[in-house]
């Protein structure tokens, strides 16, 4: 293995040495106050990042991948007989549908193609036609393609009809502007190993306190993924199960580094990395799949040039120290993805463009045009 690959996949992202070293802690029992102090620091730090009205919100941390927190939310929030409206314009919207169906929760799907954002007027119409739909679930940043859904406008539709908004912000929290109070988000879900630049193994829900308290009235559908029970235990300075103790230490360090950099500065750094990447890729003649106006600044899906397939391109980039990502589903035949989250810088992204130019040729493509990244 090399000293360090540059990860251009949408998480896990490159971290700092200090975050990795934070994992090396003395063996610690998860029932001791020394662990609970770290857990509570992490919970408070997550809420601090969530934006305005943070005093009305609380964080619940699960040991598990991001999907664990998504499933915990979706199986805990709807009361018996309540349905969920799901926006499906990518793999992660469809995954929410799968989770709801697995728990026998009524679900209605607003289906779009993978490069089209959700239409708030269609959310209005769905709520008007079915009073049993009490919640809207949507992925903010669909890393299937790099599409952003209009969270604030969707939240306004929820408020007009008295519905709750559940946002999968797995790969946007800490990298795109999200303000739970101003945007009207009831439940925001994310994980440690994306834009927070932590270690995989922890996912979390940031939710309105009154909404979390109200979950006591809903019969549990899961033991481990019981959002209300997990919140109650953490609020009391406890944990219902054995957590990933050392990963909490890494998350605390990552949150300290986020605080030192500043959330706005991190978002700006990611945006500049994205600008450098897209400018350089445009000079190479690469086409972006997602239309302007609904692209994130964190991931770009490029169409594969003629005579280039993904596997040779992937291994050519890997040989140069860079890990790119395949398109999902049928997109793998025509596209590839490059993310720019983690500890990357604009200078690194200029090197990415250079490696991409060389790799496209090595993978069987024609010599691209100029490779200027600025």
Q: Are residues 199 and 279 in the same domain?
A: no
Q: In whole angstroms, how far apart are CA 123 and each of 134, 135, 140, 168, 187?
A: 12, 11, 15, 17, 18
Per-residue pLDDT reduced to its tens digit, 24-80: 999 999 999 999 999 999 999 999 999 988 789 999 999 999 999 999 999 999 999
Q: Evaluate whether residue 209 is within a structural domain.
A: yes
Indicate which CATH number applies to the domain containing 285: 3.90.1150.10
Percent of the chain with pLDDT over 90: 94
Q: Which domain holds residue 134?
A: 17-260
Cβ–Cβ under 8 Å, residues 170 and 195:
no
Task: Return mean pLDDT, the chain.
Answer: 96
Burial of 84 (0-12, 13-18, 19+ CB in 10 A): buried
Cβ–Cβ under 8 Å, residues 290 and 363:
no
pTM of the model: 0.96
Per-residue pLDDT reduced to its tens digit, 88-98: 999 999 999 99
Kindly report the number of other CB atoms within 10 A of residue 172's CB atom.
29
34 has which bridge partners?
none
d(CA 276, CA 349): 6
Q: Are residues 212 and 317 in the same domain?
A: no
Q: Are residues 81 and 39 in the same domain?
A: yes
d(CA 138, CA 262): 27
Per-residue pLDDT reduced to its tens digit, 335-365: 999 999 999 999 999 999 999 999 999 998 6
Cα–Cα nearest to 137, from 83, 204, 217, 201: 83
Q: Are residues 249 and 292 in the same domain?
A: no
Residue at a domain's end among 242, 260, 278: 260
Residue at a domain's end among 244, 260, 276: 260
pLDDT at 373 over 80: no
Q: Evaluate whether residue 347 is within a structural domain.
A: yes
Q: Are residues 253 and 275 in the same domain?
A: no
Per-residue pLDDT reduced to its tens digit, 251-275: 999 999 999 999 999 999 999 999 9
Q: What pLDDT shows up at residue 341?
A: 97
Q: Are residues 241 and 292 in the same domain?
A: no
Q: Which residues contact 80 (CB under 8 A, 6 or more apart)?
A: 218, 219
Give the strand pairing for 141-142 and 133-139. Answer: unpaired
């Amino acid at each position: 293995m090399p000293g360090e690959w540059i990860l251009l996949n949408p998480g896990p992202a490159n971290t700092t040495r200090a975050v990795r070293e934070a994992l090396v802690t003395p063996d610690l029992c998860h029932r001791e106050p020394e662990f609970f102090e770290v857990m509570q620091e992490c919970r408070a730090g997550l809420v601090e990042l969530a934006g305005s009205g943070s005093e009305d919100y609380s964080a619940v941390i699960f040991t598990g991948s991001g999907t664990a927190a998504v499933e915990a939310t979706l199986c805990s929030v709807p009361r018996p007989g309540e349905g969920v409206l799901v926006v499906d314009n990518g793999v992660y919207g469809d995954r929410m549908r799968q989770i709801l169906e697995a728990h026998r929760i009524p679900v209605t799907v607003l289906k779009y193609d993978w490069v089209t954002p959700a239409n708030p007027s269609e959310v209005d119409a769905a709520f008007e036609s079915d009073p049993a739909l009490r919640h809207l679930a949507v992925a903010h940043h669909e890393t299937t393609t790099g599409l952003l859904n209009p969270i604030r406008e969707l939240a306004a539709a929820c408020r007009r009809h008295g519905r709750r908004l559940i946002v999968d912000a797995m790969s946007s929290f800490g990298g795109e502007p999200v303000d739970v109070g101003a945007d009207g988000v009831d439940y925001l879900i994310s994980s440690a190993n994306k834009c927070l630049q932590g270690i995989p193994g922890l996912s979390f829900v940031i939710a309105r306190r009154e909404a979390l308290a109200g979950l006591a009235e809903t019969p549990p559908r899961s033991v481990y993924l019981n959002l209300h029970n997990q919140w109650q235990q953490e609020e009391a300075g406890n944990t219902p199960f054995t957590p990933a103790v050392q990963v909490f230490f890494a998350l605390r360090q990552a949150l300290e580094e986020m605080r030192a950099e500043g959330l706005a500065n991190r978002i700006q750094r990611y945006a500049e990395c994205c600008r450098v990447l897209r400018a350089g890729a445009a000079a190479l003649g690469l086409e972006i799949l997602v239309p302007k106006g609904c692209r994130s600044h964190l991931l770009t899906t490029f169409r594969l040039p003629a005579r280039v397939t993904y596997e040779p391109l992937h291994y050519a980039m890997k040989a140069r120290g860079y890990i790119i990502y395949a398109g999902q589903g049928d997109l793998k035949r025509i596209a590839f993805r490059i993310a720019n989250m983690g500890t990357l810088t604009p200078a690194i992204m200029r090197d990415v463009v250079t490696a991409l130019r060389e790799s496209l040729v090595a993978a069987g493509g024609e010599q691209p045009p100029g490779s200027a990244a600025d």
